[in-house]
Amino acid sequence: MSSTPPAQLHLAVALDGTGWHPASWREQAARPRDLFTAGYWADLVAEAERGLLDFVTFEDGLALQSSRYGEPDGRTDQVRGRLDAVLTASRVAPLTRHIGLVPTVTATHTEPFHISKAIATLDYVSTGRAGLRVQVSARPHEAAHFGRRAFPPITTAELQDPAGQERLTELFDEAADYIEVVRRLWDSWEDDAEIRDVATGRFIDRDKLHHIDFEGKHFSVKGPSITPRPPQGQPLVTALAHQAVPYRLVARQADVGYVTPHDADQARALVAEIRTAQESAGRADDPLHVFGDVVVFLDDERTAAEDRRARLDALAGEPYTSDARIFAGTPAQLADLLQEFAEAGLSGFRLRPAVAGHDLPGITRALVPELQRRGVFRTAYEAGTLRGLLGLARPANRYAATA
């Protein structure tokens, strides 16, 4: 009698500056002088691809990084400044062959038309490996960069009260419309809209370009896009969620949702909540991955990882805290944790390297071989697109005439 093979895990890595610990730039492996060069990011993504990871995400924002939630902090002892995530992903794309590239975009102050063609372009440049991570912004100083809207200051505590929840709901409803516009624009060209027939002089079939005519509370977008339908049809849409309001966004519009459980019971509860919201959104039959985010300090010995975390905390002048579970230990111990979380219903993980130059190689050269020995992670890339790596079919075009 054959036993059921263990479930295969999906792995992504979240890239942010020199790493997720605020003192990471002071580590020997960090390369802070290279942080704003294309080569730095190309090297990180090449390392992730060497480990056969499904995709990388690139963090981004509309203001300088801050240790305070809703306002700048004025600190000069931590990394400040970023390259644009979409442009970085596009620069790295031709240097890679298999790994997915998922830049972060802030829906609150950008236009879905611009982002739809940017991500469609990334999908072409990468031959079918593009996605995006959608986030919102309630911060007044970010709104001030654009001058179109004014947001009153809000604390994390105030986000939990009824007025804060109402404000949050408004932002995430806007993000849901934003994604809907982006998705419709990706479909606004049918797959065979381009004829390119030199003899007849016909380049496109105009009947296969469609107005999307989206009219909503936040956007009015006619379409069609100026960019033909992306190679994947629909690039990957992902979002990070911490509570009921963003869980609904994940359930309504995402292909992958990132959650931050701190133990297996919490992971089980979060997955159940998202599945219930998915059913309420009428998407019960649609594939939706739920990934757990984990910050990782990886070393050959647990004490070495814990000591490194303590040393970085001392350099930062305060203990590092995170929305996600912080793990400090060995690759085998991390593999145990990931398998425990997977049994609670998570289909994959987005790991946040505490120090990119140290912990990313720890993931690719130690954790991945450990997971492969356990038979729960791929030994070669099995698909040519990001959707393919995640077992997601290429969707039909919503505007194409059905037979």
Q: How far is CA 392 from the centre of its chain?
A: 16
- 63, HSE (Cβ side, Cα atoms, 13 Å): 22
Please tell me the predicted confidence (pLDDT) of residue 147.
85
**Is 403's pLDDT higher than 50?**
no
- In 283-367, alpha helices (H): 302-316, 331-343, 356-362
**Is 46's pLDDT higher than 80?**
yes
Roughly how many angstroms between the first and final C-alpha of the chain, as a whole number? 46
Token pair recorded at residue 67: 């240790």
Per-residue pLDDT, averaged over 36-51, amounts to: 98
Among all chains, which residue has been given the structure tokens 């994940």? 250
Q: Rounded distance, CA 315 to CA 22, Å?
A: 9
Please tell me the predicted confidence (pLDDT) of residue 145.
85
Read off the pLDDT band of 155 (50, 70, 90).
Answer: confident
Per-residue pLDDT, averaged over 327-346, amounts to: 98
Token pair recorded at residue 270: 């979060």
Token pair recorded at residue 57: 């995400």
In order of 105, 121, 287, 353, the CA distances from 56 in angstroms are 14, 18, 20, 12
Please tell me the predicted confidence (pLDDT) of residue 138.
85
Report helix, strand or coil for 132: strand
Q: Which of 143, 213, 212, 132 shows the shortest CA–CA distance to 171?
A: 143
Per-residue pLDDT, averaged over 20-31, amounts to: 96
Q: Mind listing the pLDDT tens digit for each residue in 82-102?
A: 999 999 999 999 999 999 999
Per-residue pLDDT, averaged over 119-124, amounts to: 98
Report the residue count for the chain. 403
**Is 304's pLDDT higher than 80?**
yes
Beta carbons of 254 and 238 less than 8 angstroms apart? yes
- 364, HSE (Cβ side, Cα atoms, 13 Å): 23
Q: Which of 299, 312, 320, 306 shows the shortest CA–CA distance to 28?
A: 312
**Is 393's pLDDT higher than 70?**
yes
Q: Rounded distance, CA 224 to CA 216, Å?
A: 17
Q: Which amino acid is at 31?
A: R
Is 104 among the annotated ligand-binding positions? yes
Q: Which amino acid is at 58?
A: F
Beta carbons of 223 and 214 less than 8 angstroms apart? yes
How many Cβ atoms sit within 10 Å of the Cβ of residue 181?
A: 24
Read off the pLDDT band of 375 (50, 70, 90).
Answer: very high
* Cross-strand bridge partners of residue 105: 134
Token pair recorded at residue 221: 């977008």
Beta carbons of 126 and 101 less than 8 angstroms apart? yes
Please tell me the predicted confidence (pLDDT) of residue 238.
98
Of 14-18, 43-47, 61-65, 385-389, which range is least confident? 61-65
**Is 402's pLDDT higher than 70?**
no
**Is 350's pLDDT higher than 60?**
yes
Read off the pLDDT band of 161 (50, 70, 90).
Answer: confident
Query: Could you tell me the pTM of the whole model?
Result: 0.96
Question: Which percentage of the chain shows pLDDT scores above 70?
Answer: 99
**329 phi, psi to nearest 5 deg:** 175, -155
Prior bond of 369 cis (ω within 30°) = no
The domain segmentation of the chain, as residue ranges, is 10-189+217-235+255-306+316-389
Q: Rounded distance, CA 294 to CA 333, Å?
A: 13
How many Cβ atoms sit within 10 Å of the Cβ of residue 141?
A: 16
Read off the pLDDT band of 1 (50, 70, 90).
Answer: very low
Which CB contacts under 8 angstroms, 24+ apart, belong to 31-34? 31/357, 32/79
Class of domain 10-189+217-235+255-306+316-389: alpha beta
Per-residue pLDDT, averaged over 233-257, amounts to: 96
**80 phi, psi to nearest 5 deg:** -130, 135
**Is 2's pLDDT higher than 70?**
no
